Structure 1
């Protein structure tokens, strides 16, 4: 699919300063599109998004749809990346009411507002965490049901409910809603930071002493952003597209991150010790007032991913999605963090330029 000649001309992006949102904005601008970026803080957005004549910053929040509705008219598509996510995985950050309001109710209101504004396409982002691990060991795909314990994770449960909102749209609603299911996203632009960004910074600063022998599907946020744009062009309504990259052991992720930052990688420990390490990390964070590198909720999600393989075949074959090497992702993430003064400069002799 040649996106340079076949792309939405005017796109509104929610969550535009987040890891996925900011990379989606950049991808659309690179393709020559006009972008309206929905941001809660204009001044912060100016430091994180490019200054561009085709970019408009719209101050708003998906929780206040009435204030967002005027921005929708005249757009060819909405790419909805805003979600209650980072806070959920912070110690004591779970707020079920806010989780539902942001990840479920706001989706329903956004789809209604898009329909009323004449926007034909809304790309919705979900998560591979909504998929069960197959008992026969084969990779899960878009048809795989949720696991028996999936809804015990509040974030995954909210994403399942948001997908149910999409599938419940009546015939003739007038909005096509492809669903993108990313893996664990890494890469430049992680200003939040997400759990991946916190882990990256913990490796960079040497505060992460150990990494469990467990893994998950790791994907560059820029590749997910590209998939969202492609889904806006050619994705089917309520059709799921897994965009998960490769399954990678966490110690390998940390080794590549350490190489990119020129520091020593954390040692490996058995996966069964990971929850204990996360508990200690949370206690130390409370005492020091710092953000922990890992939380118990995040480790539980990681260990669940250790047992789950997924296939991105549909996104590759139907949308033309491709994935860059993890070494390139982490090299670029290191560069971005240094340029934004968010990571120690350190020794750059260990960096890699593999592509």
Structure 2
């Protein structure tokens, strides 16, 4: 289990979580309920939220849209902290005709939520960023909270990809703080690595990979590594950042993991043959075929060429989470613990066949 201690965190009466049915938002909700406090969950679909979130007397489900402040403004009364996780999530977004939601939700929506939070006088606002907004750094000088964004994501004046939208959202938040528009609200940003964990109903890219490996449809994965973090550890970091943090930004990247070893653990957990490891160039060609098949079928590919390119970058990426460890007391679970929890959650929600869980191993 991660080396974290939630009992050290100060108590709060009421928190509000946007994107509460997402991978991170849902885990923040569960973490806060475990602290025996009231949680206001801002969701788009209350019926879906009832299926995904705990049936708890201290949880209040509120239908709302972050781009429409009138749907949530009144619910900020009496809230001690807001965790903003809602986003239009297309990590390897490629369709050039559908970029408008990236700007509307990820950038403008964040500005609207923060404006409403500041107007309500809410003490703390925690914004969710991404390690993909950090420029690549070598092992001699790992990327950290002070690292600027990659030029290709910093250059566009409108969101044309998910990472670009996160860079633009970070800049919008920083500009609001500098201009004084956030009033007395303290603002901090948490930048997670590639999140995995239970509660990934979307699913995100990690959940799709888990389920596709479990179905035996992933035949090969590239010999690459990336920073992997359990969403439950990121949830702890977000709450700690709100309550004991003193910095403007916290990198919560997790640990660098081998993709073949990661999928071997999934295979062991779900009782299937593990994908074979192949050179990255071959994986790029396979991703191109998956994209074509997805376009013909109307589905989403397990992998994309852009996704493989990001993984190739991740293989050379070096990131430090030392500030989060030191200031927030954040630790990171093992891959085996994360994968076991994902298997259990997916079985419990009918997304995997039920049966004995086979212990996984990671290297």
Structure 2 length-normalised TM: 0.91
Are 2:102 and 1:113 equivalent residues in the alignment? no
Indicate if the aligned counterparts of 1:331 and 1:353 stay in contact, CA closer than 8 A: no
Q: For structure 1, list consecutive stretches of 5 or more residues without a partner in the other structure.
A: none
Task: Name which of 13, 17, 20 aligns with 2:17.
Answer: 13
What residue is the counterpart of 1:218 in the other structure?
228
What residue is the counterpart of 1:96 in the other structure?
99
Indicate if the aligned counterparts of 2:25 and 2:86 stay in contact, CA closer than 8 A: yes
The whole-number CA distance in structure 2 between the counterparts of 1:323 and 1:111 is: 29
1:127-157 CA distance string (max 9 Å, x none): 0001111256532111112223334772112
Q: How many correspondences in the alignment?
A: 351
The whole-number CA distance in structure 2 between the counterparts of 1:17 and 1:223 is: 17
Task: Name which of 200, 214, 223 aligns with 1:204.
Answer: 214
What residue is the counterpart of 1:243 in the other structure?
252
What residue is the counterpart of 2:342 in the other structure?
333
1:289-318 CA distance string (max 9 Å, x none): 443211223222222212211011000000
Task: Name which of 273, 276, 301 aligns with 1:292.
Answer: 301
Go from structure 1 to structure 2 and tell me whether the alpha carbon gap of 1:218 and 1:81 turns closer, same or farther (over 3 Å shift): same
Shift of 1:95: 2.6
Indicate if the aligned counterparts of 1:204 and 1:344 stay in contact, CA closer than 8 A: no
1:19-70 CA distance string (max 9 Å, x none): 0000000000001121000111111110000000000000011121221111
The whole-number CA distance in structure 1 between the counterparts of 2:277 and 2:6 is: 43
Task: Name which of 301, 316, 323 aligns with 1:314.
Answer: 323
Moved more, 19-28 or 302-311: 302-311
Shift of 1:2: 5.2
What residue is the counterpart of 1:35 in the other structure?
39
Go from structure 1 to structure 2 and tell me whether the alpha carbon gap of 1:48 and 1:215 turns closer, same or farther (over 3 Å shift): same
Task: Name which of 180, 194, 198 aligns with 2:204.
Answer: 194
Go from structure 1 to structure 2 and tell me whether the alpha carbon gap of 1:161 and 1:236 turns closer, same or farther (over 3 Å shift): farther
What residue is the counterpart of 1:49 in the other structure?
53
Q: Alignment RMSD, CA only?
A: 2.0
Go from structure 1 to structure 2 and tell me whether the alpha carbon gap of 1:275 and 1:353 turns closer, same or farther (over 3 Å shift): closer
Go from structure 1 to structure 2 and tell me whether the alpha carbon gap of 1:217 and 1:260 turns closer, same or farther (over 3 Å shift): same
Indicate if the aligned counterparts of 1:180 and 1:243 stay in contact, CA closer than 8 A: yes
